Amino acid sequence: MHLLHDAAAPPAEPITFDDFLKVDIRVGTILSAEPFPEARKPAYKLLIDFGPVIGERKSSAQITAHYTLEDLPGRKVAAVVNFPPRQIGKFMSQVLTLGFADEAGEVVLFSPDKDVPNGSRLF
């Protein structure tokens, strides 16, 4: 299992609060999900609405173990919106959709437990 997915991994090195503020994590609503058969690991292509300031962004997400394409539209998710876009095959992923690994290492999406507006920033 990859170290990032290991619940027994030690905590990361300490950072400052200013370091934390550099990571812009926002909530958005998945508008659509499509298959991504060209991906090396099973994944979906997501289109996520982050509200009027950030707008719609695309993401590749390795979430096929727990979610079907039909499960995803309308679901709130959190994502890092200020990483540079990343080319994944022929697809440009613009945000990093966030999740936690279950005991098998499969991704479980991270989302708020109450409704919040698209574009709300994690603090």
Please state, in angstroms and rounded to a whole number, the distance separating the CA atoms of residues 92 and 46.
11
Nearest CA to 70 out of 32, 96, 97, 41 is that of 32
Please state, in angstroms and rounded to a whole number, the distance separating the CA atoms of residues 105 and 97.
16
Question: Which amino acid, 7?
Answer: A
What are the sequence ranges of the domains in the chain?
3-109
The per-residue pLDDT for range 2-46, each reduced to its tens digit, is 445 578 889 999 999 999 999 999 999 999 999 999 999 999 999
Residues 91, 58 contacting (CB under 8 angstroms): yes
Fold of 3-109: OB fold (Dihydrolipoamide Acetyltransferase, E2P) (2.40.50)
- Which two three-digit tokens encode residue 82? 């200020």
Tell me the pTM. 0.92
